[in-house]
Amino acid sequence: MPEYPALTSIPRRLLLGPGPSDVHPRVLAAMSTPLVGHLDPAFLELMNRTRELLRAVFQTQNELTLPIAGTGSAGMEAALCNLIEEGDEVLIAINGYFGERMYEMALRCRGNVRRLEAPWGQVFSPEQVEAALRERPARLVAMVHAETSTGALQPVEEIAQVAHRYGALLLLDTVTSLGGVPVEIDRWGVDACYSGTQKCLSCPPGLAPITLSPAAREKLNRRRTKVQSWYLDLSLIEKYWGQERIYHHTAPISMNYALYEALRLVHEEGLAARFARHQRNAGALWAGLEAMGLSLFVPRSHRLPSLSTVRIPEGVNDARVRGRLLNDFNIEISGGLGDLKGKIWRIGLMGHSSSGDNVLRLLTALERVLPDEGFPVTPGAGAEAAAQALRQD
Ligand SMILES: *Cc1c(COP(=O)(O)O)cnc(C)c1O
């Protein structure tokens, strides 16, 4: 008889990677709420409240705002496959791994997809996007707000204006920004936006909040052809989440409980306070890393607070350091993707994981591990600089 250990054998980690982030105990508790049916009046009520809370966190009045059943990539796929029809001109801005994923998906939607590229770690200027659209207009421009592969934060507002001036809709990935960094869908003029639950919302992975502006919805209504994905067809999903309540798929009830509780936590904290907390703790992390002699990959002007990227010093073994952090200190951070593999570490301070205590815990652990790799660190230097930054704020 093989032995099947109980889940109590799963270690308690501190999740400081690119997601999932630590889940608030109230969200974990919410998931053990007894189930009701997916058309139970109590659940329908909860769906309405969830949509209201989602509009608040997206800062939008968009009617079509709901959580897709699936992870962030399902949100990406839903946004793209609903808004692209065969032959549509599409421009994808690619400055990291998730821009590449969008490009890959957009091709499968059979758009005429063009790439606008910037080096990983950099962001796009409105002029760059304008030049590309002047050369050849597009129906849709898609980009990533918070590139989790590089730690760069893309300014959006002016690019949305450029897109509109050239008759394009703007689609934005906010998987690593929603709930941690300001996302202002209506004020910026973003037409379609999706996110995921497991990053700055600090929920388990499993739902993808999405929102469509009236203009994007119009595009959806005027499609000549059906969306090729039945499961992700927003016009069908909306019939379940909207007034009609027509069964489409069985909503993942427990995940919706979790998202509702996570959004209640965002509401209680307040968006401004939550963004300030993410900024403060990231600032403390950056001060601590620099005081230890490490250097950050992204210039401060467009550095993302929810995910920091730090250069791995020459001669330091990437996998061994991460292994020791995990095994000796129960802390998860992540390595680089693509060309950045072995060159950077990615440190997430997202949602519930973004706290001063966690910053100090990570810096203290790094101070213990790095000297064994031949990278000398003055004991306490990083933690002291971070503590000082936290005090000053
Ligand atoms: C994590 C992430 C995704 C994909 O989300 P999954 O939940 O892993 O499917 C998409 N875009 C960005 C920017 C991400 O960070």
**The ligand 1 atom nearest the CA atom of 149:** 15
Q: Tell how far the Cα of 209 is from the centroid of ligand 1, in angstroms.
A: 12
Q: Which two tokens stand for residue 126?
A: 């409105």
Condensed to tens digits (0 to 9), the pLDDT of residues 308-350 reads 999 999 999 999 999 999 999 999 999 999 999 999 999 999 9
Q: Are 79 and 194 in contact (CB under 8 A)?
A: yes
Q: Say whether the peptide bond before residue 376 is cis (omega within 30 degrees of 0).
A: no
Ligand 1 pocket test target in 100, 148, 156, 308 with most atoms within 8 Å of CB: 148
Residue recorded with tokens 């300030």 = 276
Q: Tell how far the Cα of 294 is from the centroid of ligand 1, in angstroms.
A: 27
Condensed to tens digits (0 to 9), the pLDDT of residues 249-258 reads 999 999 999 9
Residues with CB under 6 A from ligand 1: 19, 71-73, 76, 98, 144, 148, 173, 175-176, 196, 205
Contacts 24+ apart (CB under 8 A), 270-277: 271/56, 271/57, 271/59, 271/182, 274/179, 274/180, 275/180, 275/181, 275/182, 277/354
| 207-212/64-69 β-pairing | antiparallel
pTM: 0.98
Predicted pLDDT at 1: 56
Predicted pLDDT at 393: 75
Distance separating alpha carbons of residues 251 and 259, to the nearest angstrom: 12
Nearest to residue 184, comparing CAs of 209, 202, 157? 157
Q: Are 163 and 141 in contact (CB under 8 A)?
A: yes
Distance separating alpha carbons of residues 89 and 163, to the nearest angstrom: 13
Q: Tell how far the Cα of 355 is from the centroid of ligand 1, in angstroms.
A: 22
| 140-144/146-147 β-pairing | unpaired
Q: Tell how far the Cα of 292 is from the centroid of ligand 1, in angstroms.
A: 30
Q: Tell how far the Cα of 180 is from the centroid of ligand 1, in angstroms.
A: 15
Residue 281, C-beta contacts closer than 8 angstroms, at least 6 positions apart: 305, 349, 354, 355, 356, 358, 359, 390
Ligand 1 pocket test target in 21, 68, 71, 309 with most atoms within 8 Å of CB: 71
**The ligand 1 atom nearest the CA atom of 74:** 9
**The ligand 1 atom nearest the CA atom of 145:** 13
Domains and CATH numbers, the chain: 25-267 (3.40.640.10), 271-392 (3.90.1150.10)
Residue nearest to ligand 1 atom 6, measured at CA: 72
Q: Tell how far the Cα of 274 is from the centroid of ligand 1, in angstroms.
A: 21
Predicted pLDDT at 173: 98
Distance separating alpha carbons of residues 280 and 33, to the nearest angstrom: 34
**The ligand 1 atom nearest the CA atom of 148:** 15
Q: Tell how far the Cα of 64 is from the centroid of ligand 1, in angstroms.
A: 21
Query: Which stretches of the chain drop beneath a pLDDT of 70?
Result: 1-2
Query: What single-letter DSSP state applies at residue 381?
Result: H
Condensed to tens digits (0 to 9), the pLDDT of residues 251-302 reads 999 999 999 999 999 999 999 999 999 999 999 999 999 999 999 999 999 9
Residue nearest to ligand 1 atom 5, measured at CA: 72
Q: Which two tokens stand for residue 246?
A: 């027509």
Nearest to residue 306, comparing CAs of 2, 17, 7, 39? 17
